[in-house]
Amino acid sequence: MKLSFETDRGAGSKAVLGLIVLQTDETIEPELTQICAEPGVALYHNRIPMVPEINAETLMQMKADLPRAAALFPSSAQFDVIGYGCTSASTVIGPEGVRDAIRESLPGVQVTEPLSALLAGCRALGLERLGFVTPYVPSVSARMQEKLEQAGHQIVSFGSFEEGDDRVVARIAESSIYQSILTVAGQSKCDGVIVACTNLRVAHVAAKAEDALGIPVLSSNLALAWHMLSLAGITPNKPAFGRLHSGVQLR
Q: Quickly state the pLDDT bin for 138 (edges 50, 70, 90).
A: very high
Q: What is the pLDDT of residues 196-241, one digit of tens each?
A: 999 999 999 999 999 999 999 999 999 999 999 999 999 999 999 9
Domains annotated for the chain, with CATH where assigned, are 15-113+223-236 (3.40.50.12500), 116-222 (3.40.50.1860)
Which residues face 177 on adjacent strands? none
Helix, strand, coil content of the chain in percent (nearest 5): 45, 20, 40
> Mean pLDDT lowest for which of 46-50, 131-135, 241-245?
46-50
Report how far apart, in Å, the C-alpha atoms of 127 and of each of 122, 192, 197 are: 5, 6, 19
Q: Quickly state the pLDDT bin for 92 (edges 50, 70, 90).
A: confident
